Chains A and B, each alone.
Chain A
Amino acid sequence: MIEGSISNRIRILRFHSGEMSQAELGQRIGVTRQTIAAIEAGKYSPSLEAAFRIAHTFNVSLDEVFQWEIKLPG
């Protein structure tokens, strides 16, 4: 199996959206502030639907929000 890790640019995108708060973003996509904090910290991977909602909120494509970095073996 290919190993990888998911990173995201939500903190930067929030900054570029007039320093949007985690609570406001959470409210827009229907999750709690703590869930946004967990996603930003890379502790929780959101569902595909929530990921699309986040991208839509910032008016960017999905891969501008989330990136998947492949871990090379060895």
Chain B
Amino acid sequence: MFIIHYILTVFEWSLRMPYREKTAWLSLFAMIITFGPYFAIVALRTLPAEPMPHLHQLGLFAITAIVQMLILAAGHLFLRTGSGPEASMPLDERDQAIMRRSVNSAYYVLIAGMILVGCVMPFNSSGWTIINAALFMIILAELVHYGVVVISYRRQA
């Protein structure tokens, strides 16, 4: 009973959400359910050791990226059909302000990550360790980007 009430509340809440917020939630969701398991597998070192290009690792990354793209494509299609004319409206001044704020926040995460990966890690790591660290920092920056978008819309800022 509680679960049905919760689902209905979330559904009602999502109907009132701006289209841009819905797409930000979708991007967050897609990233977490694809790259979450990817980095868990990488961190637990469950893949067999292989020389470069390490086909198992490459395959895992390809599957993750394809699944993420499929989720995003299906999600955007679903949201676009359900949102009516709002989906095709250009960004208004508040949307643009939110976008600037989120990109600005993500930039600092990305630049810190790239300094770590590009300037520090080559001295003690190589191959897929560096690639995965770079990917992790990109995903982290994207999480910050969409996170700030969602928080800004939630706070009506």
Interface residues of A (CB under 8 A from B): 30-32, 34-35, 37-38, 41, 43-44, 46-47, 50
A1 to chain B, nearest CB (A): 21
Which residues between 58 and 99 of chain B lie within 8 Å of chain A, taking CB atoms?
A: 86, 89, 92-95, 97
Interface pairs (13), CB distance under 8 Å: A30-B92, A31-B92, A31-B93, A31-B94, A32-B18, A32-B86, A32-B94, A35-B92, A43-B157, A44-B156, A44-B157, A46-B93, A46-B94
A63 to chain B, nearest CB (A): 21
Is B107 an interface residue, CB under 8 A from the partner? Answer: no
Whether the pair B157, A34 counts as a contact (CB closer than 8 A) is no
A contact residues around B97 at 8 Å (CB)? 44
B contact residues around A41 at 8 Å (CB)? 156
Is B45 an interface residue, CB under 8 A from the partner? Answer: no
Closest B residue to A47 using CB positions: B93
B138 to chain A, nearest CB (A): 29
Is B5 an interface residue, CB under 8 A from the partner? Answer: no
Q: Mark B143-157, 1 if CB is under 8 A from A, else 0.
A: 000000000010111
Whether the pair A32, B93 counts as a contact (CB closer than 8 A) is no
B contact residues around A31 at 8 Å (CB)? 92-94
A46 to B92, CA, bound (A): 11
Whether the pair B155, A43 counts as a contact (CB closer than 8 A) is yes
Given contacts A31-B94, A41-B156, 7 further A-B contacts (CB under 8 A): A30-B92, A32-B18, A34-B18, A34-B156, A35-B92, A35-B94, A44-B94
Q: Mark B90-120, 1 if CB is under 8 A from A, else 0.
A: 0011110100000000000000000000000
| Most interface-central of B18, B86, B94, B155 (chain A CB within 10 A) | B94
A43 to B95, CA, bound (A): 14
B97 to chain A, nearest CB (A): 8
Closest B residue to A49 using CB positions: B93
Set A34, A35, A43: member contacting B93, Cβ < 8 A: A35
